[in-house]
Amino acid sequence: MNALVSFIIFGILVAIPWFGVRVLGWESLFGIVIPYVCFLVFVIGLIYRIIDWAKSPVPYKIPTTCGQQKSLSWIKRSLRDRLENPFTTWEVVLRMFFEVVFFRSLFRNLRADLQGKRLIYGSAKWLWLGAILFHWSFFIILLRHIRLFTNPVPEIIQGLDYLDSFIQSFGVPPIYITDILILAGLTFLLLRRLIDSKVSYLSYGSDFFPLFLLLGIGITGVLMRYYFKVDLYAVKQLTLGLATFHPTIPEGAKIGTIFYIHLFLVSTLAAYFPFSKLVHMVGVFFSVTRNMPNNNRAVRYVNPWEYPVKHYTYYEYQERFKDKMIEAGIPIDEEVQPEEEHEWYSLYIVGSKLPPKIKS
Amino acid sequence: MYNAEKVIPFIIILIIFFTIPMWLNFGRLEAIPQPELPKEEKKCVESKEYMRAYHMKLLDNWRKKAIRENQHLYTASNGKNYTISLQRTCMKCHTNKEKFCDKCHNFVITHPDCWDCHIAPEVAKKWQ
């Protein structure tokens, strides 16, 4: 059901540019206005999300660890321990690097299955493989697209493009390796949600929709390169125009509708990105169980929620109960000094700069 | 905002990353090259729109026909017959690889392998 609704929404998103360009002929809306607006939404949305996260206090130091923590000098720590239980900032950086680049924690993914009445846990690397295929291919494809937005194209991007397309055996234009890998990865990630009943049960529409969107982008891109060819010279005039802020719809050359569908889906992805699960691209850096060093015993971590609490000083106590103390024969300390005045604070309320005062 | 000393550079790096094309073009942007079209002949094998988008498919098809199927005649959609040959048909009008093919290919960065086997006329002249 969730999958179906997402797919219908995706279908509508494909139909919009098809109708808009093919029937109404609004090339400049779908080629210039929407991409610019969506890119702006993307950037501003990301900044908004980052600042929103950065404003959230982290009350405790909560890194997840599974290695020997830094302890006495004669307790040895291997490189693995340093990654699993970082103590210094450098170790945290290294840990984050491996997390972001190789999805180290996903590599530990387990799968639980009932075998008769026995619950069995086993290693499950397929999710990791699908994820890494998709993410790396997507990243390389993103970099490769720089060839459409720069003139002259930097040598390194040319080299990347050449390496990616070095298999020339399947006709012209040569097939991109990342094109195959990204479709394989995405198909796996989608089938996993559709076929595995446990994962399917956990999947929302917002899990399926990005997959449909990304698959849609991949498939329109592949179709555009290999089957429904478009005039790439005109396409680059358009895209270069976007990048240099002189946007034009090239005259005299008709770009196929499939290009506008591809562009519209990419624009949708960009605008949708900051407000969906996809923003884990940024969120991973704010993942507090990963980005904190486990140095609680060496460096004091101050909870940002902490506020000055009024203590009942001994002076105040003594003033209040003086009579009763004398009555009971408890000695009075004459030298105790009144301490600095504090204010009474109570519970911290999210969003307020200072905790509210409570009148006594 | 907490950890502003890390978060603000992070935001800046992110923005720079997603606007890379702008920085790469900055100060080194070149004009869009125009391929030199033949002056005498106005019509190509197929329509202009088709050739612009599909010429590589057509040439690939020609290669298969000529080399694998020993067919050397191509009938265009308007009924005209052409000899299947890159150097004798295409390059008859588009006489210069550098001024025609390379203009677009270098602009959009494609790596056609035509010239692994074929020899461009201007290169051939050099060796004669």
Provide the number of structural domains found in chain B. 1
Looking at the DSSP assignment, which residues form a beta bridge with residue A115? Answer: A118
- Provide mean pLDDT across the span B73-98: 87
How many Å separate Cα A24 from the centre of its chain?
37
Neighbours of A253 (CB within 10 A): 17
The separation between CA B123 and the C-alpha centre of its own chain, rounded to angstroms, equals 18
Which has more pLDDT, B91 or A358? B91
Can you name the residues that pair with A114 across neighbouring β-strands? Answer: A119
Is the omega angle on the peptide bond into residue A173 within 30 degrees of 0, that is, cis?
A: yes
Chain A residue numbers with beta carbons less than 8 Å from the beta carbon of B46 are none
Residues 6+ apart with CB under 8 A from A126: A188, A192
For residue A336, give how far its alpha carbon lies from the nearest alpha carbon of chain B (Å): 40
Q: Which pLDDT does position A261 carry in this prediction?
A: 94
Domain extent at residue B93: 45-108
Determine the residue among B32, B109, B115 to mutate to test chain A binding: the one whose Cβ has the most chain A Cβ atoms within 10 Å. Answer: B109
Q: Do B11 and A162 count as a contact with CB atoms less than 8 A apart?
A: no
Rounded (10°) CA dihedral A78, A84, A87, A93: 110
Spell out which residues of chain A touch residue B59, defining contact as CB-CB under 8 Å: 172
Q: How far is A150 from chain B (nearest CA, A)?
A: 6
B28 within some domain: no
Render each residue's pLDDT in chain A as its tens digit; 360 residues.
788 999 999 999 999 999 998 888 888 899 899 999 999 999 999 999 999 999 988 888 999 998 999 989 899 999 999 999 999 999 999 999 999 999 999 999 898 888 889 999 988 899 999 999 999 999 999 999 999 999 889 999 999 999 999 888 887 888 999 999 999 999 999 999 999 888 899 999 999 999 999 999 999 999 999 988 898 999 999 999 999 888 888 887 788 899 999 999 999 999 999 999 999 999 999 999 999 999 988 888 888 877 666 666 777 778 888 899 999 999 888 887 776 554 444 444 455 555 545 444
Pick B22's closest partner by Cβ from A173, A231, A243: A243
Out of B7, B11, B32, name the one closest to residue A151 (CB): B32
Alpha helices in A68-109 (DSSP H): 79-84, 89-102
Question: Residue B53 and residue A229: Cβ atoms within 8 Å?
Answer: yes
Which of B7, B14, B54 minimises the CB distance to A54? Answer: B7
What does the DSSP 8-state code read for residue A148?
Answer: G
Structure token digits, residue A354: 């200072």
Cross-chain residue pair B57–A236, CB shorter than 8 Å? no
CA distances from A91 to A62, A79, A87, A290, A293 (A): 16, 9, 6, 11, 8
pLDDT at A190: 94
Q: Is the peptide bond before A210 cis (omega within 30 degrees of 0)?
A: no
Q: Angle at the Cα of A140 (from A135 to A143), degrees rounded to 5?
A: 125
Residue A154, Cβ density class (10 Å: 0-12 exposed, 13-18 middle, ≥19 buried) = middle
Decide if B19 is inside a domain.
no
Instruction: Please work out, in degrees rounded to the nearest 5, the angle formed at the alpha carbon of residue B38 by the alpha carbons of B35 and B41.
Output: 145
Q: Do B1 and A149 touch (CB under 8 A)?
A: no
The verdict on residue B8 lying in a domain is no
Q: Pseudo-torsion of CA A283, A285, A287, A293, nearest 10°?
A: -170
Query: What does the pLDDT look like over B2-56, one tens digit per residue?
Result: 888 999 999 999 999 999 998 988 888 888 888 888 888 888 888 888 888 899 9
Q: Flag if B29 and A171 touch (Cβ within 8 Å).
A: no
Identify the sign of the CA torsion A92, A95, A100, A103. negative
Q: Mention every residue, 6+ apart, whose C-beta is less than 8 A from residue A352.
A: none
Q: How far apart are the CA of B86 and the nearest CA of chain A, in angstroms?
A: 15
Sign of CA dihedral A134, A139, A145, A149: positive
B→A interface, C-beta within 8 Å: 1-4, 7, 10-11, 14-15, 18, 20-22, 24-25, 28-30, 32, 49, 52-54, 56-57, 59-60, 104, 107-113
- HSE-CB of A356 using CA atoms within 13 angstroms: 7
Q: Chain B contacts of A153, Cβ < 8 Å?
A: 109
Which residues of B are less than 8 Å from A238 in CB distance? none
Reported as type and span, the H/E element at residue A113 is strand A110-115
Cβ-contact A290, A104 below 8 angstroms: no
Residues of B in contact with A161 (CB under 8 A): 109, 111
Q: What's the first-to-final CA gap in chain B, in angstroms? A: 73
The pTM of the full predicted model, rounded to 2 decimals, is 0.86
- Inter-chain contact A55–B112, Cβ cutoff 8 Å? no
Distance CA A65, CA A73 (A): 19
Task: Give A60's contacts (C-beta < 8 A, 6+ positions apart).
Answer: A301, A303
ipTM reported for the complex, 2 dp: 0.90
Within-domain flag for B58 = yes
- Nearest Cα neighbor of A34 from A238, A277, A266 is A266
Domain ranges of chain A: 2-286, 307-360
Q: Give Cα separations from A127 to A109, A282, A305 (angstroms).
A: 8, 21, 38
Residues A123 and A117: their CA atoms lie apart, in Å, by 19
Query: Per the domain annotation, does B10 fall within a domain?
Result: no
- Residue A247, min C-alpha distance to chain B (Å): 13
The predicted structure's pLDDT at residue A350? 53
| Cross-chain Cβ contact B28/A152 below 8 Å | yes
The rounded distance, in Å, linking the Cα atoms of B42 and A311 is 94
Averaged pLDDT, B89-113: 87
Q: Residue A129's pLDDT is what?
A: 95
Structure tokens at A232: 């790439």
Residue B11 resides in a domain? no
Residues of B in contact with A157 (CB under 8 A): 109
In the DSSP assignment, the letter for residue A110 is E
Fold of A2-286: Fumarate Reductase Cytochrome B subunit (1.20.950)
Chain A to chain B, count of Cβ pairs less than 8 Å apart?
Answer: 98
Closest-CA distance, B128 to chain A, in angstroms, reads 31
